[in-house]
Structure 1
Amino acid sequence: MSDTVHETVEASAEAPVLQRLSTLDRFLPVWIIAAMGLGLLLGRAIPGLDDALAKVEVGSVSLPIAIGLLVMMYPVLAKVRYDELGHVTADKRMLAASIVLNWVLGPAVMFALAWLMLPDLPAYRTGLVIVGLARCIAMVLIWNDLACGDREAAAILVAINSVFQIIAFAALGYFYLQVLPGWLHLPEIAGLDVSVWGLAKSVLVFLGIPLVAGFLTRTLGEGAKGRDWYETRLLPRIGPAALYGLLFTIVVLFALQGHTITNQPLDVARIALPLLAYFALMWVGSFFLGKRLGMTYERTTTLAFAAAGNNFELAIAVAIGVFGVTSGQALAGVVGPLIEVPVLVALVYVALWLRHRYYPTPA
């Protein structure tokens, strides 16, 4: 590579991270805060809103919220390159490390932090445990690209997490919410009865339906127009729908939870603390694990962001489906993306700094 080309690549990689985010993604915390405020105003201005929303339900979830959740998940799953699953054995170290970090260590770390930091808030604690079980399947692609990680490896890990969530989420949820607290003799929510089927039903509806839709969209779209058209023309058109679905869901949640939130404003801050600790522990630990295993910077970064991120869309959907739209569990899920976005943008800068420190020779 010539010096000129090398400098161009470096300049592109070092461009301010926020400038390389789309306008929607760059101001996501602002949109979330605005949606929260709008929801609180609607909750006060429209009495009986909860009764109106509950008139038509999908399972135990009101139809408007169910639509919002499905719209929020579909574009995320349309981005996954499902054909990359055939290459998962190319790097056995990375595959094994990612599975352990995502499906063994990640849920355990969130479980421990939730119990340590929210011992007196069982509903929020349970919501955070659900967040820890919902592994990242979309936003990791954004953070990974910004930090100059391995794009193909990220696509593979996203595809694996998508499949694993269908298979393992319900069983792990039952284990962490029912079995493990009993083994450890921990006090749980009075009357809490979470069934494997209750969790599985929410996952099948709110992940299974958009997963099938996303798979068919990619398969048919690429088959008709090719991958370049699909990823440069179609995905940018349908991608913003995920944010709109998320914001709509947040508006409704805060409209229904307005009384609780305004009476206990410090609850949001307390939910944020274990989330901050979780992101820091998972990302730093995963990054240095990748380095210790001798991975390149690109794959080490991909491993770290895949382990640290969470699928808050699924966590919100499961919390609403199992515990209800006005539950503390649902509120804990909503606080997640408000904290995740600025923290992981900051970790992109950390990754780029660590590249210069530990990987001085670019790949």
Structure 2
Amino acid sequence: MTTTATAGDASPAIVARLSRLDRFLPLWIGLAMAGGLLLGRLVPGLDTALEAVQIGGISLPIAIGLLIMMYPVLAKVRYDRLDTVTGDRRLLLSSLLLNWILGPALMFTLAWVFLADHAEYRTGLIIVGLARCIAMVIIWNDLACGDREAAAVLVALNSMFQVLAFGLLGWFYLSVLPGWLNLSDARLEVSGRDIAVNVLIFLGIPLLAGYLTRRVGERTKGRTWYESRFLPTIGPVALYGLLFTIVILFALQGDAITSQPWDVALIAVPLLVYFALMWAGSFTLGRAIGLDYPRTTTLAFTAAGNNFELAIAVAIGTFGVTSGQALAGVVGPLIEVPVLVALVYVSLALRRRLLSNTTSARAATTSGDRP
């Protein structure tokens, strides 16, 4: 994204600035789901063929799709700008608190409130809550006039921290905490090592590839070429990988979806509540601690967004491609994309209001200073 919205951009022009693929992403995801269901019915024995070769416990076609959709996003991060955020302790500490303490705890709570009788979906949502933002949040932040560099740095920090923390948090929320709270049939014997291995494969590999691509690309061609020519070329590949993965997932999830069509809606409800609460709470916190609008917006979107690619990968690798946990992960992007687009409009409306209040206050001060 190379353009920046102005205060009056809370209009259809916001969506118009997205590429056709981005603009209609919810539609493409819906079509990918439908196509996957048809594929599963038309091709008998598809599950056996897909699982013939595996990487990290995941069938090779799905593994390739997951790696492809992670790489372009991580190639966009400016890894040499970490100091622009690490110097702002308010933003950094707030982001770490929201992403790694409040976010997972909120999703754990909502999963138990809404899905207490659906153990697999509940676990899938908890995994989504543990997978912090690293993907399309940069697009939503840019459209909402957030701080672009701060967003990129927070994404990079989340990516690095996730490799170290995801396995430990998964073990805590899926095995330890339910036991402490005496939640019936909630304690799951999930190996923190198995989850960590999946994180290292499906986050560590594309993270390293993205870092090396940027480093080599900028050294040989320069940053201008890399960001104006190379990144726009590989950008759509991430969405193609996502759509390909969804087609395969829904081909294997067909029986569960068609036999229980309301389950998708059941999973969607706590996701909607989660995105709304995380964004609103984060925006309020940003203003309360004195951040300006761009960094407040960045804080809100990076806290509300989730890395559904990683959640899908971990759910498949840990519980299986046809599991309820994997289905909960797949529903994630279908809900997140339209909700965060709507929150872009909300952000710009708040920005207009904040600018209007600032202008009025300055005018009043100037008027009061006149003799």
Count matched residues. Answer: 354
Equivalent of residue 278 in structure 1, options 271, 274, 278: 274
* Shift, 1:137, TM fit: 0.9
Residue of structure 1 aligned with 2:300, choices 301, 304, 314:
304
- Name the aligned partner's letter for residue 162 of structure 1: S
**Other structure's SS at 2:140 match:** helix
Query: Which structure has the larger Rg over C-alpha atoms?
Result: 2
3-state secondary structure, aligned to 1:119? coil
Aligned equivalent of 1:183: 180
Matched residue SS, 1:36: helix
Once residues 193 and 53 of structure 2 are traced to their aligned partners in structure 1, the CA distance between those partners, rounded to angstroms, is: 22
User: 1:187: how far off?
Assistant: 2.4
Q: Distance in 2 between matches of 1:14 and 1:300?
A: 21
How far did residue 312 of structure 1 move?
A: 0.5
CA distance in 1, matches of 2:319, 2:30: 23
- Report % sequence identity: 70
| Corresponding residue SS for 1:239 | helix
**Deviation at 1:171?**
0.2
Matched, 1:102 2:80: no
Equivalence for 2:220: 224
2:218 is the counterpart of 1:240: no
Other structure's SS at 2:99 match: helix
For 2:365, the equivalent position in structure 1 comes to: none
Of the structure 1 ranges 353-362 and 217-226, higher mean CA displacement relative to structure 2 is found in 353-362
The residue aligned with 1:142 is 139
Q: Which amino acid aligns with 1:214?
A: G
Q: CA deviation at 1:16?
A: 2.3
Aligned counterpart for 1:253 among listed residues 226, 249, 254: 249
Letter in 1 for 2:83: G
Query: How does the TM-score come out when normalised to structure 2?
Result: 0.93
Preserved contact between residue 170 and residue 196 of structure 1 (Cα < 8 Å): yes
Aligned to 2:48: 51
Query: Take 2:304 and 2:355, find their aligned partners in 1: how far apart are those partners?
Result: 21
Is the contact between residue 123 and residue 189 of structure 1 (CA under 8 Å) also seen in structure 2?
no
Tell me how far apart the structure 2 counterparts of residues 331 and 12 of structure 1 sit (CA, whole Å).
Answer: 36
Paired amino acid for 2:255: H
CA deviations on 1:183-223 (whole Å, 9 max, x unpaired) are: 11112358x32111010010011111111111110110111
Distance 2:253 2:216 in 1: 41
Q: Which amino acid aligns with 2:50?
A: L
The 3 A distance-change label for structure 1 pair 97 and 49 is same
Deviation, structure 1 residue 232: 1.2
Q: Which amino acid aligns with 1:128?
A: L
Contact 2:178-2:186 within 8 A present in 1 as well = no
CA distance in 1, matches of 2:252, 2:51: 11
Question: Which residue number corresponds to residue 112 of structure 1?
Answer: 109
Unaligned runs of 5+ in 2: 360-371
Structure 1 residue 14, shift from structure 2 partner: 6.0
Displacement of 1:88: 3.0
Note the C-alpha offset of 1:58.
1.2
Unaligned runs of 5+ in 1: 1-7
CA contact (8 A) 2:71 2:207 kept: yes
1:87 shift after superposition: 3.1
Give the secondary structure class of the aligned counterpart of 2:82. Answer: helix
Q: 1:278 to 1:35 in 2, by over 3 A?
A: same
For 2:24 and 2:116, how far apart are their aligned partners in 1? 33
Question: Aligned pair 1:345/2:341, yes or no?
Answer: yes
The match for 1:161 is 158
Q: How far has the Cα of 1:138 moved from its partner?
A: 2.2
Correspondence for 1:25: 22
| Paired residues for 1:195-234 under 5 Å | 195-234=191-230
- C-alpha distance in structure 1 between counterparts of 2:150 and 2:333, whole Å: 24
Displacement of 1:13 in angstroms is 7.3
Report the alpha carbon displacement of residue 224 of structure 1 after superposing the two structures with TM. 1.1
Deviates more, 1:114-123 or 1:87-96: 87-96
**Relative to 1, partners in 2 of residues 1:12 and 1:348: Cα closer, same or farther, differing over 3 Å?**
closer
Q: 1:266 aligns with which of 241, 254, 262?
A: 262
Please report the TM-score for the alignment, with normalisation by the length of structure 1. 0.95
Match 1:172 to one of 146, 169, 173: 169
Q: Secondary structure at the match of 1:105?
A: helix
Residues 92-150 of structure 1 deviation map (CA, whole Å, 9 limit, x = unaligned) = 10111000000000000011001100111111110110000111112111011110111
- Cα deviation for residue 77 of structure 1 reads 0.9
Q: Answer whether contact 1:126 1:329 (CA < 8 A) is retained.
A: yes
The answer on whether the counterparts of 2:52 and 2:59 sit within 8 Å (CA) in structure 1 is: yes
Equivalent residue number for residue 363 of structure 2: none
- Residue of structure 2 equivalent to 1:335: 331
Deviation of the 1:89 alpha carbon: 2.5
